[in-house]
Amino acid sequence: MFGFDLVALVKAGGYLGLTAIVFAESGLFFGFFLPGDSLLFTAGFLASQGFLNIWILAPLLFVAAVLGDQVGYLFGWRIGPPLFARPDSRFFKQKHLKRAQEFFDTYGARAIVLARFMPVVRTFIPIVAGVAGMRYHTFVLYNCVGGALWAVGMTLLGYLLGASVPHADRYIFPIVLAIIVASILPPLYHVVRSRKD
């Protein structure tokens, strides 16, 4: 059922809706609940079926992902450490920010790329990088690499599957489910490991 909802969401939102979702999930702290990985894959799959143009879709999603992280970085840079004293609200949870901080402390600049494939963490990592005062040029470099691997990579994965596997629409739900499970495992592992330490 969830897979069909994603298909309907992509068809209803089109280029503008997908761009807005990727931008929000990448750089706005209330975007952490959005279905990034599975949505990108589904969009790529639908592009292979002729609903979207992959040559328009992939660059748009890349730009949205990179700009979203840029906004997150600048937000963290402008607000700074007081952000860690901000009370919880409907769209902001301290636990998510602290988890991203731990991840950033562990992996440094690489966290900008790695976090792209981790729900929730990917939304808060650019904010934490800004708070930490990460060099802007370094952030931009890793942001572009991460944006390309995630936004373009996941979209092309869906596109290639849809274009090369006969009746691929039969497999979209289990594949999307597998992507969701796979994207949950890294942050889960990180949380478990941090609690043991």
Higher model confidence: residue 61 or residue 83? 61
Provide Rg for the chain, Cα atoms.
17
Enumerate the domain spans of the chain.
Answer: 2-196
pLDDT at 188: 56
pLDDT at 4: 46
Residues 6+ apart with CB under 8 A from 98: 84
Across 6-20, 41-55, 168-182, least confident range: 168-182
Mean pLDDT score of the chain: 82
pLDDT at 109 > cutoff 50: yes
Instruction: Write the single-letter amino acid at 44.
Output: G
pTM, rounded to two decimals: 0.81
pLDDT at position 7 is 82
Q: Which of 39, 37, 33, 66 is nearest to 52 (CA)?
A: 39
Q: Pick the more confident residue, 112 or 2.
A: 112
- Reading phi first (left if > 0) and then psi (alpha if -120 to 50, else beta), residue 167 is in left
